[in-house]
Structure formats: C-alpha cells, structure tokens
Structure 1
Amino acid sequence: MTWPDWVLHLPAPLRWSFLGVAAWQAIGVLVLVLAALVAALFGRIVAVRLLRFRSRFLPNRLTLETERAIRRAIGILSGVAVSYLILGELVLPSHLDGFGRSILCGIAIVAFGMLAYSMWDAVCDDIASRATGSDRAERLLVPMARKFVRALIVLVAFLVGATMLFNADVRGILASLGIGGLVVALAAKDSVENVFGSLTILFDMPFAIGDWVRIDKTEGIVEEINLRSTRVRTFEDTVITLPNANLIRASVENVSSRRNRRQKLDLRLSYDTGPEALDAFCRDLRAWLERQPKTVREKTIVDIQDFGEPSFGVLVQCHFDAKTQAEELDLRHLLGLEILRLRDKHKVMFAAHPRPEPTAKH
C-alpha cells in the first residue's frame, strides 16, 4: 500500500497504524461520514428547490409521501457521491476499501431504486390529479400500473444489486425465478386465479375505483384494486375484501354506470276522485316533469295502471339525470312536493300514501 506524498508531511502520531489503518485514515473515515451527512442535507435542500421549481410549470401537487421520498433519495445519492470521492483519497487497505465500496454501492442501488420508485409515484400522482371523475380508464389503470411498475422497480434493483455486489448470474436467477414461479403457481392455484382476475378487471373494466357496485351480496364503493383482491367499503362503513378470482364468475352490477335513475310511484287514489280532476292532475304532473331539466322527457309516464279494491292506481314513472345519490334524493323530494301541491289544487283524494318502489339501496 502506497500513501500519497502529502501524508509523509503529516506529524508522526497521525501516521501511527493499528491493524493496518493509520490514525489519519481513521480520522478521514470520520470526516467521510460527516461530509456524507452534510452532502445529504445539501441534496435534500436542492431537491426541495427543484420540486418548487417544478410546481411553477406543473401545478398538480404531489403527495407528501412522494415529495419526502424524492428528497430522501436525492439526499442519500448526494451523500454516496461525496463518500466515493473521499474514500478514494484515504488509500485504505484493499479489504477495507473493497468493503467500503461495496457498502456504498449497495446504498446507491437502494437510493436509485427509491428515486425511481418515488418518481414513478410522482407520475401516477400527476395523472391521477388530472383524471376527471368520469374517466374510468384512468381511475382503474393508474392504481394497478402504479403497483405493477413498483414491483418491477424492486425486481430490477434486486437483480442489479445481486450482479454488482455478489457477481451473480442474472440469467441463472431469472431461470430460477421461472422454475420457482412454476412451482409456486402449481402450489398456489388460488393466487394465480386472483392475478388473472385482476387482469380481467383491467381489460374488461367492469368497474373502477370510486364506483358504486353490487357484487353478489356485497354493495358499496370500490376503494382499492390489487393484484390479489378488490376492497369495497360498504354503506355501513365496513370494508369487504373480495378475491379477484371470485369476480370472474360473479355477477357485477355497476350502479355508477347508470345513465339515469328511474323513479316509480304507485299512487293509490280513492274512487271518490272525479274523472275531470284525475285527468287534470295527471296532465299537470306530466307537464311539470317534462319541464324539469334533469328529467328524461321521453321516459315520463303518468297514467292509470289498475283498478282495485278499495282504490285504483296511477303509475308515476320518470328517469332523473342524477349523478349522485344526494342529487337523486333532492329531485325525488321536489317530485313529492309537486304531487302534494297538485293534489290540493285538483282536490284529488288519496286512498293511501304514495308507495315508492325503491330502485336502489342507499
């Protein structure tokens, strides 16, 4: 081991060695650690400035977790870069120098993986923030693509680390993964079916995150779609996890895909109601419904439907162009008020209260 010329000019105590490491080299290692910490802090500050500069041109904000991950990864890479420069000047014994470089290489691989991981999250956050509420493709594809590419990044980082740190044969690893994957697939048939179920959801898109669905006896809002399962939050605020394999065979009703919402009322009227009053009541109610901007005019029905004992029935059926449950209930409320107003206006006598036929559970 040959020391640089400037080391010969150091005081003798600094050139004193213990286990092959001189005092000045030990001090240099401490300096390396401190310099790495300072460089990491500086890198995080630069990352903050870069993220602020990005926000000027791309107003869509990243999540706090993504910003922290980007700052952390850039800080670690800055520390590793400075450590490499200082380590080369310390002229440590070969075994210590190799060990130090392996450690720094491993940290760098992890940091690059973290950076790629967080940058991909930033891309997904940006796409998700631009997606509109009606863009079902993006609401479905973004979460699944996020998880798939995350897994791919971790796999690539593992293969790069195995190759650079342990001189592993990548082809042998991939072959082993292929054989092992076949064995695992045979042993975990249900898990493989779940993966194919997730692919079915991806390509057929029967629903997306945020949709209101009914799947067998489960009803609620889709919160998360994973490779293995789909999570639905019910209207009782509980979470039900459904294996994706079951969704291939299940009957899936996407309530959110309704173009409009049907309302069906069976008004029971007394036979004491005169024909002129009944006709005026039906005519005015039909006209009122057709004037409403949220009503589908060609599907409006207000007519007598049956004669029974001790009352006869008037069918009131219409379709509301309502996007949410709250909007539907508001329109139904206005319809009920109009029915009561016309009842009083035309002296129509109800034999019983209107009994709405529910079209959906809320």
Structure 2
Amino acid sequence: MPPSTFSTWIRETTFVGVPLWSLMVALAAAATTYVGILLVLHLLTGRARVWATQSGSAAAHTVVEVLEGTSRLLMVVVALLVGASLLELPGRWESRLSQLWFVALALQMGLWGMRAIGMGVRRYVERHSSTGMTQVSASATLLSWGLRTLLWSVVLLAILSNVGVNITAFIASLGVGGIAVALAVQNILGDLFASLAIAVDKPFEVGDFIVVGSVSGMVQVIGLKTTRIRSLQGEQIVMSNTDLLKQTISNYRMLEKRRIVFGFGVSYNTTPEQAEAIPGVVRKLIDAHPELRFDRAHFKAFGASSLDYEVVYIVQDPAFNLYMDLQQSINLGLMREFKAMGVEFAFPTSTVHIASAPAQSQGPAPLAGAAAAAAAASASVAAR
C-alpha cells in the first residue's frame, strides 16, 4: 500500500466512532505520560533516598517509603486518561473523564496514607521492642485500625461526592447511628479511648513500676479495656483503663534519685552542747556513704517529751533496697554515737502534778469539801 494511501486509510478509518489517527495519537501520549511519570517518580525517590542517607531523619525515610508505594496500575490509568483527553469525545464522556481523574488521585492518596500509617505503627513497635516489649500492644493495633478506617472513610466520601452522590443525608444518618451506638456501648468505648490515650500519651509502659491509689506493682499488659498489674504481694490486679487514668499515677521508671526526710527525738536531759553537736554527728554518718549526699540536719522543735531533729539527704541510686540498707546503717550509727556521747533517745512519757490544798482548822464542812474538789481538779497530765 503506498504511503499516501496508508495515510488516507488511517485518517478515514474509525474505531467505535473515533478516528484511528486520533487513537494512535492518544496511545502515544499515554505511553509518553507513563514513561514521564516513571522518570519523575524515580528521580524524586532517588533524591529522597540520598537525603535520608545523609540526614538520617525519620521524615526523609517516610517520604522514600511513601513514594515507593505508588501504584503502577493507577499510573497506567492516569496515563490513559491523559491520552483520552486528546480525543474528541461526547460531552458526557468528558465529565466521566474528570471524575475518573479524581478517583485515581483519591485512591493514590489513600494508598500513600496507608503506607505512612503502616510505617508509623512499625516505628512505634520498634521503639517498644528496644525497651523490652516483644509484641505489638493492643493499643498500637487499635490506633492503626482507627487511622486506616478514618482515612478510607474520607477517601470514599470524597469519591462519592465527586461522582454526584448526595452524601449529606448519608453523613447525617451515620451521625445519628453513631450516637445511638455510642450511647449503647459508652463504657466500652470509654475504655477503648483510654487505651488509645495511654498508647499516645504514654503515662506508663509495660514493665514500669507504678503506684495508683492503694495499688502498687509492675505493669504486665496494657489491653483494649483493662491494664494488668503484678503487685508486690504477687497477685495480678486488673484495672479498667478509664478508672486508671482518672487517678494520680506515680511512675517510678524515670526515678533517678530519692530525697529522704526522717526525724528523731532525744531526751530533755540533753545538754545544749550535746544538742549543738548532734547535727554534725548526723552529717558525718551520712558523708561516710558515697551513695548519699547530705542536705541538712537541724534541731527542729521542742516536742512534748523530746528535742526533735529533722534530717534530709539524697540517695543517688533509686533502688529501694539500697535506700533501706543505708537508712539502717545510719540508724545504727546514731545509736552507737549517742551512746558514746551519753545522749538518750526520747520516748513518750507522762508527768502527773498533784497540788495539795492547805489545811484548814475552821470553817464549815462544805468549804472543806470544795477545797478537796479544787485540789483534785488541779491535777494535770502531759503526755505525747
């Protein structure tokens, strides 16, 4: 077939009402678009990978992984849409093409969001694994599920709105149904959101020693509804996540030092010179231990039956058993030093003072009885 005849045949032949020449131009444009998208994506991914290698930032690694999650199928769809835009199509097809453009972009955004959420959850799990947690917590799973559901709900509603579906009534019905369900299971939802708050805010983690009210122990499991604590007595205590977050939580994982305040009293038979020397004796006993740092020791007050002292020191190591061993050593040292100084520890005492009435030779009997009653009423007892 001569070239002129072939050219004429291409221009005059149609396929489903579209000239063959236009179809060839559209396919060529689609192929060029697909190759161009691949080149741009490869360039962006390479630049992001270099940035991630040089900076080591988490954002750069996230960009690399998100770009690598680009769907090849959606790239083909976009390329075909570019080629189809060059064709002379009826008006109704042009509106359909614009809708397909939005659907393809929305789906790709959803896939990128899924990739980012998955990477965030994976990093959360890795951080916990480095601190001794060997499995994905239920809170992390709940967080991942909630974010993915929210993402695809937004994508689906956006697509439906773009293709002409009235989603206002649909959203309103979902809202009414959601309120009804929330009222029916509000206690369960409260515990679920409390679990999510624990996962995000991290007031405590598995393995931490916490004190909540009268409960003290190590956190074993953080579940969707409850948290399980192994108490010092050995039993497992199960607490609702909602009730747990309503109370003040003391977390001892970050404890670095202990500030200890303790007091003692000595007898009133102690001389001023001995009372003045006692703070120095206490400081010497505390400074003898390298794990302790002396803060202060003072003759605090005159008690009911003792001279009261207050001592403050810092334990550099947070271990409770070490603190008790050192406090015991200080107490024994005080006993030895006070025995050598002749100072006695005070103990509660009671002193009774009885005032006797003066003898009376004259006067009526009732007055004598009144004097005896007054003498009995003047007796006083002082006890601590």
TM-score by length of 1: 0.48
Select the structure of larger CA radius of gyration: 2
